[in-house]
Amino acid sequence: MSLRNDVPLVSVIIRTKNEEAYLASVLSAYARQTFRDFEIVVVDDHSSDRTLEIANYYGCRIITVPGGRFSHPYSCNLGANAAKGEYLVFTNGHSIPASEKFLQNGIDNFSNDRVAGIFALPLSHEDGTIADKLIYDLAGYSIGNLRYRIDSLPRLFLNPKRKPLGISLLGTTNAILRKRLWQEYPFNESFNGGLGGEDADWAWHFVSTGYEIIHDPKFRVRHSHHLRIRDIFWQLQNWRYMVTAERTPDRQRKYF
């Protein structure tokens, strides 16, 4: 079985670290997509389970993160550098596309030249914890189509430097970016010391120069971290720090 396309319009960049529990479901969902003009690039951080065996079975191109070099922005940039597509989809080995039109729904938004990127808040896995369902499904099902533009962000969402305050304009759990814009401004590997928020920083860079970021709920994935209730509060606080760079997050994000 092969998900490789030598001259693709879209490159799907999947970051992995011991993802055998979900990766076959993720790649099977891509194999069923109605949109077919894509390749899959797996960026792997030295998995010790069956992750690479599964990726090879589906014909993915595999890139290994150099030892000791892992960070979220670095792994995204590593995959983007190797990608052949005009559009870059960033995701991970446990984010399962929620529909067979996932890619088509995302790409359809780029008919407007001023759109820099697309994302959607995820839903929880069906086997997710109660906490996962609270944090993901509550937001994922309640937030519809949004267009983030510099002239449409309410002042209460902006700090004195006119940067977003406590809201995410993008998330590489599932996002599509124009590669030419990524080439102009790759993910900032020093943002928050590489501990997170580089995706929101990327989005703000282009929103502040006149581009749009779109939240499209038809571009959802199912994604869980199997959180406990107390983990939600730490997660929400860390997201706030990551988005604003108000303070360095408490520690490296454990998950993609």
Is the pLDDT at 224 greater than 50? The verdict is yes
Higher per-residue pLDDT: 102 or 122: 102
- Residue 150 binned pLDDT confidence (cut-offs 50, 70, 90): confident
Report the pLDDT value the prediction gives residue 159, as an integer from 0 to 100: 54
Report the pLDDT value the prediction gives residue 255, as an integer from 0 to 100: 43
Report the pLDDT value the prediction gives residue 126, as an integer from 0 to 100: 80
pLDDT in tens, 177-186: 999 999 999 9
**What is 125-194 written as a DSSP string?**
PTT--HHHIIIIIHHHHH---EEE-TTTS-GGGB-TTS-BSS--S--TTEEEEEHHHHHHS---TTGGGG
Q: What is the pLDDT averaged over residues 123-150? A: 74
Report the pLDDT value the prediction gives residue 252, as an integer from 0 to 100: 47
Report the pLDDT value the prediction gives residue 254, as an integer from 0 to 100: 46
Q: What is the pLDDT averaged over residues 98-114? A: 97
Q: Where are the domains of the chain?
A: 10-244
Kindly report which listed range (41-55, 110-124, 188-202) carries the lowest average pLDDT score. Answer: 188-202
Report the pLDDT value the prediction gives residue 237, as an integer from 0 to 100: 60
CA distance 209 to 76: 23
Kindly report which listed range (10-14, 58-62, 201-205) carries the lowest average pLDDT score. Answer: 201-205
- Residue 95 binned pLDDT confidence (cut-offs 50, 70, 90): very high
Q: Model's pTM, two decimal places?
A: 0.85
Q: What is the pLDDT averaged over residues 148-162? A: 60
- Residue 256 binned pLDDT confidence (cut-offs 50, 70, 90): very low
Is the pLDDT at 78 greater than 60? The verdict is yes
- Residue 253 binned pLDDT confidence (cut-offs 50, 70, 90): very low
Instruction: Note the CATH number of domain 10-244.
Output: 3.90.550.10
CA dihedral 47, 192, 181, 67 (to 10 degrees): -30
